């Protein structure tokens, strides 16, 4: 591409004829038809996301609140991050180079930051968060019963927000009303 553009620049300096202008018009139309710019922009978005993850998440993983993170929680964080990478690379809604396409990346970055902060808490529910979120997505009602301090009222609302749920409410007391 660089070689071709240098040749065209030299040709335009030496010969400013209509033929040269027509050649530029043809090349411009060909470039637009190939949708190369949009493809290049999408690659840049993925590269920028990977740089953000590398600089703001992966380099800081060892600074968890409770010491060194366990392998399961690191694996879970990586699964959340990989899912977001895949969304950006494969979903049509993120493809393109308009302002709206770039603005949608903000929500992906926010989700990554939320997942990372959930990871830092090192609460037990984070280790099963992928399965838990799938259960919530696939069922109208989901009852979660775990030990105190596992992350039901701290971790779960944040995970739901990271998943894109707009309205998340945590109530007190958290006892499930039962009838016999």
Q: Tens of pLDDT along 62-98?
A: 555 556 788 999 999 999 999 999 999 999 888 888 8
Q: Give tens-digit pLDDT for 90-148.
A: 998 888 888 898 899 999 999 999 999 999 999 999 999 999 999 999 999 888 888 98
**Residue ranges covered by each domain of the chain:** 34-122
The string of pLDDT tens digits covering residues 132-145 is 999 999 999 888 88
Angle, CA 77 vertex, CA 79 and CA 140 arms, to 5°: 70
Q: Where are the alpha helices (DSSP H) in 35-170?
A: 36-56, 71-90, 99-121, 129-138, 155-162
What region, left, alpha or beta, does residue 110 occupy, with left being phi > 0 and alpha being psi -120 to 50 degrees?
Answer: alpha
The model's pTM is 0.74
């Amino acid at each position: 591409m660089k070689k071709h553009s240098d040749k065209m620049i030299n040709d335009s300096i030496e010969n400013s004829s209509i033929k040269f202008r027509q050649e530029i018009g043809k090349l411009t139309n060909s470039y637009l038809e190939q949708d190369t710019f949009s493809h290049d922009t999408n690659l840049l978005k993925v590269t920028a996301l990977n740089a953000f993850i590398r600089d703001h998440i992966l380099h800081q993983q060892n600074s968890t609140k409770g010491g060194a993170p366990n392998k399961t929680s690191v694996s879970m964080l990586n699964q959340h991050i990989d899912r977001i990478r895949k969304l950006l690379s494969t979903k049509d809604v993120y493809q393109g180079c308009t302002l709206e396409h770039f603005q949608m990346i903000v929500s992906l970055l926010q989700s990554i930051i939320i997942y990372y902060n959930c990871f830092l808490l090192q609460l037990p529910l984070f280790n099963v968060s992928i399965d838990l979120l799938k259960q919530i997505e696939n069922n109208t009602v989901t009852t979660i019963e775990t030990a105190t301090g596992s992350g039901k009222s701290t971790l779960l609302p944040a995970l739901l927000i990271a998943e894109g749920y707009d309205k998340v409410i945590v109530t007190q007391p958290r006892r499930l009303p039962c009838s016999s």
